[in-house]
Structure 1
């Protein structure tokens, strides 16, 4: 079941690339070394056991961080909404795993003075092994 986290992350990147399209310069599966704004990156992720008798399951908490610059966050709000829609529609069958629960947890927008805006979108994803 250890590859469930990788399968969820790959499906998430695919869904975000389709949903955000050319509105961002890229969708990265981790913090990029160099990227032009705006872009999206998979942020913090934790995985824990979510199994039961006869059921191998994992619970994944995944954050997507969207980065943008500018004086106001209006474009970033729109990108965050698109990201949420893409995540809600992501593939549920992930090879040897299946998503059985997908829940929006929170969204947060932050900025340090003189730095880009960061928009965080966090989800809980529950998977079960099909094997």
Structure 2
């Protein structure tokens, strides 16, 4: 059986890359690892943590993960527009995970700030998901 965390990551990447409204903003630039000379703006997978969320009858996991939005030229406005599009897309969605069932996926926090070391802006979206293993 595959890891619930990897299945969740795969499903999120597929959803973000396929959405037309997000594609208009970032042209499908959603990365696990940013390629050299990547064009801005883009979205990266950030930190992820998985906790045991099993019950007496079901094996499950709680996942806390972040998505990072990077931009230079347009700054905060562009970052916040992209964050809004991602949040609208992920909130309440029912992702298909091989070998697992998504119980819920909810936003926990968002942050937008200047990123002086990169001459631009960073947006961070934090989500919580709960999954159960399927037999």
Using the size of structure 2 for normalisation, the TM-score is: 0.87
Structure 1: how far apart are the matches of 2:43 and 2:102? 22
- Give, in angstroms, the shift of residue 56 of structure 1: 0.5
**CA deviation profile, 1:47-69 (whole Å, cap 9, x unmatched):** 01001111000000010001011
**CA deviation profile, 1:58-90 (whole Å, cap 9, x unmatched):** 000010001011364111111100011121254
* 2:27 aligned with 1:32: no
Query: RMSD across aligned C-alpha pairs, in angstroms?
Result: 1.7
Aligned residues: 130
* 2:20 aligned with 1:17: no
Structure 1: how far apart are the matches of 2:82 and 2:25? 8
Q: Structure 1's 23 and 71: CA in aligned 2 closer, same or farther, altered over 3 A?
A: closer
Structure 2: how far apart are the matches of 1:44 and 1:21? 23
Contact residue 104 and residue 129 of structure 2 kept, 8 A? yes
- Give, in angstroms, the shift of residue 23 of structure 1: 1.6
Give the match's secondary structure for 1:15.
Answer: helix
* 2:56 aligned with 1:61: no
> 5+ residue gaps in structure 1?
none
Aligned twin of 1:127: 131
- Give, in angstroms, the shift of residue 120 of structure 1: 0.4
Give the match's secondary structure for 1:73.
Answer: helix
Using the size of structure 1 for normalisation, the TM-score is: 0.90
> 5+ residue gaps in structure 2?
none
Contact residue 15 and residue 90 of structure 1 kept, 8 A? no
Aligned twin of 2:78: 75
